[in-house]
Every structure is written in C-alpha cells, then in structure tokens.
C-alpha cells in the first residue's frame, strides 16, 4: 500500500498493482465463514454466494449494524460516494470490526462515457477493477436479455395478431390479446448511452418483418427488471414479479403482462443465476457484495435487498450504497427499499466535498472532461459558506427518516482547512455527526475518524419511520416528497399524467405500490441548473409509469430521459488492452 500514490497514479494503475496481492475468492469465503457449497467461484477472485443456504443456516443469528451511504447533490463528476463506501469498509476493518459492503454493479453506459466505473478511487477501490467494470458475472447482460425477450414476445404477438384471424391464432394456441400499439409501456434495452436509439421505427418491410410501429431504447439499468433484482427476496419472488411486469395495454386499457405473453418463465430462466450476489473485495481485503445497478435518478439505484440480508447475517457492520444525493437515492432507500426488506438502518452517511459545495455556492460551472476552474482548487471559504445550504437540506432529509446522519467530508488533497471547518460547523449546527476522511489518499487509515463516527451513530437508538403511508393517493404522495424532500412549493401534473393517476387511484392494488420518483440528480429540484437549495419552484410531473413487478408507481419530473447520451470525449477513447499480457488499461 505504501508504494501506491493516488496523487501520481491513475485509479486503474492502483487497482492493477493492488490486484497482485488480492485474496482468492476461497480466502474471502473462509473469512466470511461460508461453507464449501455456498460459494460459486467465477475464476480466482470473483464468486457468487448461495444466499438461500446461508440465510437458512444463519437464520437465528442477529443482524449486524446497517449503514447507508448517500450524498449531497453532486457535481457532474460525482463526489466519491462509492469511494467513501469502500473507504468506510476499510476503516471499520482497521478498527477490528467484521464488516461487509454492498455496492452496485456499474453500467456500461457511464463506464464507457464520462463518469467511468463505480469501483471507488485512489486507495479505496473494489477489485479486480477489470472484472467489476466489464460485465462481472453477467448480471446486467442477463437483465438486458430478459428485458428484450419480453419485447420480442410483445412485438411478435402484435405481428401475429395483425396477420392472423382468430381461427388461425387458436390453431397456433394463441389467445388474441388485442394489444394497443399506442400503449406500449416498455422500450428495448441496451447498456450503453445511445441517444440515437431513443426514438426509432421498427417493423419496416413486409408483413413478415414485424409490426410497423414507433419504438426506442432505454438504458438497461432503468429496466424494471433491474428494479425487480434490487427488491426480490428469492427466485420464487422474482418469478412472480416478472409475471406481473406490464409491457403494454390492450385496446380496452387493460394491462398486458409478461405472464399474459407467456414469456415470464423464460425471462426468469435467464435471470436464474443473476439473483445470486457477487463476491469481491476492497484493495485491503475486506469482502464486498456487488448486486443490482446504479442510476437512482431514473431507477431505484440501490444495491439489492438480498445482498443486504446476506451481509447483515455474515458481519457485525454492513455498509450499503444508494445512488446520487439524499433527495433521490436515500429517499428511495428509506421509503422503497426498507419498506420492501423490512430492515431498519442504524445510520446514514452523507458524503460532502468542498468542490461540490463551492459549486452550490455559486462557483463556476463544472464540466466533465474539462479542467476545474481554480476556484475549486484554491481557498475560497465564501463559496463554501454559500453552498452549505445544500448539505443542510440533505441532513434534514435523513433526519426526517428518524435515523442519525453522519456527514463525511470526503477530503481532496487540494482542500483547505478553513473550508473544511466551514462544512464541519454547518453540519454540527444542523444536528449531524461529522468526520473528515482521507480514504482516497490513505485508504482505511485515512477513514478511521469516519469509522469511529459511524460506530458511535450506530449505538444511538433509531426512530425510523416512513415519509408516507401507502394508503395515500398517488398525487398526495408525490406532493409530500416534493415538499418535504425537494423543498418545492407544490406540484403541477400535466393532463396525460393526471389521467394515469386518476386511473391508478381507482385501482385498489395501487395501495401496494411505492413511489419511485424520476428526476435529475444534479439539483434538489427538477431543474439541473438550479444549484444550492432551490426555493420557490413547482415540481412538474409529465408522466407516470407503473412497475407492477417491482411494486412501484414511477412519476417522471421534468424532461429527464431514460436513455442518457454519450459525450464527445467519452472514456472509451482511452480504454485499451495490452495485447502481450491481455491486461485492460485506461478504466477509471
């Protein structure tokens, strides 16, 4: 570790060097106390865990402490939430705690685009980086294939119903579903940022070439199947949820599900291995579970309930991660994931950086791929003072859940002590514990103050409570989230969305569905340009989706899209492979 200097080495170089001393997956399994048949090895350093066997064996063991990692509103560069997750795991390990982490598998979209992978950074990374970043054990590929198989079933049924009369359909043992081509609720999936595929026309050609219709693609991690993976409790639960997945409506407005299309069983077969969590490690050798995916702005954005249940039985402290800021990632952890799992967290860590708070205080625009303005690397306490309102808003959100917040000041080596003091003072005044952490630069040794603050917070009695009751009408839930979490004055529901909400409120089964908001991650509001703690705005709701399999109503705020775009200076331009050794270089 002493030979690794993150100020002079790229993350991929650190990961490659650290990988020389990795534990084997069998050593990790021994550390966790797994039995031989509870581990499915995928090579020497990655494996899957048979969670059902472990949970049955350890059923009577009490759960460990449960910690969620969230953040302030980030810059487009991100503020090191995954890095902090790994750093805290390492710090707790340095304090002699038996600890496990759960992080989300990175999407190919950001890996090959601007943001890069999500393995952490500096001396707080999950390894092996290449396996982690380039498909791992195939979970996201399985989601892509299961999702697209559902689309194949849907579009082929539309073609056959168009081409055949009822007698011919009956001969082929097909029931006419009378699918409405104007009410297709799902697009095709691909795990890249491909803006040219957002809106397309399919089925061009003869009647044998499909049904002519408008269609498009969404990024795989926004698929309902990813959400199902995040909240499913076991394979039986996943199979039932896939069957309830709504792909379209018929011409009378009735749902057409994967079960109706007789494809849910095949989708579950594709997903049957993906349900097992992946076992990896930090560069200091602590175990890390990788399961489910990112994008809390357009998806649930949580590591899986299965990974959390497993880790809480295997360790004394379990650190999980929620996407983006507390306004979206933590809010979904709080009101969706914890409701589905029945688990009660002991504390939440809010990651803050001097850089982001300067941006929220009126600093120059931060643009990925371009050098930071000197305002972000030179002392400017005034900008930090003006920006801490954003941090305070997120502290207040966590406190509304009834669990204690810990602010982690994720230290960059360009930060000034006076700037750090401003953040510490504001966080303490808002009622949070505060810790300065240098895990990026020093690994677990740099995270000891953070580890101590988290242990202390976990000893405080939690008063956990949900923000809303599921008996509330859909619009009332949306308005409550908008006012209490985003700070909006109210909501404005567009006519198309209002019609869907009225239909949902008339359906008694909607009271079983949580509310999974979709909005920008770059502002607490719906408008990415509004930094700090926006006031005096109304949240516009332009559409509402229904994920019956995952168990969500999904309101869409503003103009956010389910398929991001790839930038001109994308990461794929710097990723390559050494043809002599086969090692991948350039990942970050």
The SS3 call for residue 433 is strand
Alpha-carbon distance 422 to 354, whole Å?
9
For the chain, the distance separating the N- and C-terminal CA atoms, rounded to the nearest angstrom, is 19
Asked if residue 128 has a cis previous peptide bond (ω within 30° of 0), the answer is yes
Closest CA to 57 of 35, 40, 27: 35
Alpha-carbon distance 320 to 238, whole Å?
21
Give the side-chain half-sphere CA count within 13 A for 1: 18
The active-site residue out of 48, 97, 115, 241 is: 115
Which helix (H) or strand (E) segment holds residue 69: the answer is strand 65-71
Say whether 440 is catalytic.
yes
Q: Is 377 exposed, middle or buried (0-12, 13-18, 19+ CB in 10 A)?
A: middle
The two tokens of residue 205 are 């050609």
The two tokens of residue 166 are 């009822």
Say whether 83 is catalytic.
yes
Q: What sign for the dihedral angle of Cα 152, 158, 163, 165?
A: positive
Say whether 533 is catalytic.
no
- Each residue of 330-350: b (16+ CB within 10 Å) or e? bbbbbbbbbbbbebebbbbbb
The active-site residue out of 188, 440, 547, 588 is: 440
Helical ranges in 104-234 per DSSP H: 108-111, 129-133, 139-163, 166-171, 224-231
The active-site residue out of 48, 81, 233, 548 is: 81
CA dist list (Å): 553 to 12, 228, 510: 39, 13, 8
The active-site residue out of 51, 324, 547, 552 is: 324
The two tokens of residue 374 are 């000197």
- Each residue of 3-12: b (16+ CB within 10 Å) or e? ebebeebebb
Say whether 412 is catalytic.
yes
> Which residues is 554 bridged to in the sheet?
545
Beta strand 433-437 with 490-493: parallel, antiparallel or unpaired? unpaired
Alpha-carbon distance 168 to 175, whole Å?
10
Quick one: DSSP state of residue 466?
-
CB 353 within 8 A of CB 366: no
Say whether 104 is catalytic.
yes
Quick one: DSSP state of residue 232?
-
Say whether 12 is catalytic.
no
The active-site residue out of 412, 421, 466, 574 is: 412
The active-site residue out of 248, 268, 292, 296 is: 296
The active-site residue out of 65, 94, 104, 531 is: 104
The active-site residue out of 70, 73, 75, 83 is: 83
Say whether 220 is catalytic.
no
Q: Residue 337 CA to chain centroid, in angstroms? A: 11
Alpha-carbon distance 397 to 87, whole Å?
24
Alpha-carbon distance 289 to 286, whole Å?
10
- Residues serving a catalytic function are 81, 83, 104, 115, 296, 324, 412, 440
């Amino acid at each position: 570790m002493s030979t690794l200097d993150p100020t002079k080495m790229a993350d991929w170089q650190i990961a490659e060097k650290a990988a020389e001393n990795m534990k084997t997956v069998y050593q990790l399994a021994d550390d966790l106390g797994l039995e031989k048949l509870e581990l499915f090895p995928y090579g020497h350093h990655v494996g899957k865990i048979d969670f059902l066997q472990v949970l049955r064996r350890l059923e009577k063991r009490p759960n460990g402490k449960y910690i969620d990692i969230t953040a302030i509103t980030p810059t487009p560069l991100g503020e090191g939430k995954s890095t902090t997750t790994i750093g805290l795991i390492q710090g707790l390990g340095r304090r002699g705690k038996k600890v496990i982490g759960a992080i989300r598998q990175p999407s190919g979209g950001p890996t090959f685009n601007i943001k890069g992978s999500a393995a952490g950074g500096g001396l707080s990374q999950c390894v092996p980086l290449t396996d982690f970043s380039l498909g791992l054990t195939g979970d996201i590929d399985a989601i892509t294939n299961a999702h697209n198989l559902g689309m194949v079933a849907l579009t082929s049924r539309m073609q056959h119903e168009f081409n055949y009369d009822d007698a011919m359909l009956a001969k082929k043992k097909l029931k006419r579903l009378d699918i409405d081509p104007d009410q297709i609720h799902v697009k095709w999936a691909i795990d890249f940022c491909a803006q040219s595929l957002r809106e397309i026309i399919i089925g061009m050609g003869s009647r044998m070439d499909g049904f002519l219709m408008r269609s498009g693609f969404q990024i795989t991690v926004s698929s309902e199947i990813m959400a199902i993976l995040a909240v499913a409790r076991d394979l039986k639960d996943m199979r039932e949820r896939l069957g309830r997945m709504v792909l379209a409506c018929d011409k009378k407005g009735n749902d057409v599900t994967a079960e109706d299309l007789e494809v849910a069983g095949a989708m579950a077969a594709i997903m049957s291995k993906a349900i097992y969590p992946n076992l990896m490690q930090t560069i200091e050798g602590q175990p890390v579970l990788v399961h489910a995916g990112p994008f809390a702005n357009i998806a649930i954005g949580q590591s899986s309930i299965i990974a959390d249940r497993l880790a809480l039985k295997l360790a004394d402290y379990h650190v999980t991660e929620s996407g983006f800021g507390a306004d979206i990632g933590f809010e979904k952890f709080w009101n969706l994931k914890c409701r589905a799992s029945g688990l009660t967290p002991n504390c939440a860590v809010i990651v803050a950086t001097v850089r982001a708070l300067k941006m929220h205080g009126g600093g120059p625009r931060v643009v990925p791929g371009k050098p930071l303005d000197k305002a972000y690397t030179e002392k400017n306490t005034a900008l930090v003072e003006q920006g801490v309102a954003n941090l305070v808003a997120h502290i207040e959100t966590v406190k509304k859940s009834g669990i204690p917040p810990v602010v982690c000041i994720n230290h960059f080596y360009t930060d000034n002590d006076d700037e750090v003091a401003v953040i510490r003072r504001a966080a303490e005044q808002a009622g949070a514990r505060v810790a300065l952490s240098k895990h990026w630069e020093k690994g677990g040794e740099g995270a000891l103050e953070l580890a101590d603050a988290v242990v202390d917070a976990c000893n405080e009695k939690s008063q956990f409570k949900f923000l809303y009751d599921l008996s509330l009408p859909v619009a009332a839930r949306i308005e409550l989230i908008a006012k209490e979490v985003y700070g909006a004055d109210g909501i404005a529901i567009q006519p198309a969305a209002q019609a869907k909400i009225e239909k949902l409120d008339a359906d008694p089964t909607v009271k079983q569905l949580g509310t999974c908001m979709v909005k920008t991650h770059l502002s607490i509001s719906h408008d990415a340009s509004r930094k700090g703690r926006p006031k005096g705005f109304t949240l516009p709701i332009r559409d509402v989706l229904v994920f019956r399999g995952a168990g969500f109503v999904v309101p869409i705020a503003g103009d956010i899209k389910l398929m991001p775009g790839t930038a001109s200076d994308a990461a794929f331009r710097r990723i390559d492979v050494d043809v002599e050794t086969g090692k991948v270089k350039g990942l970050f």
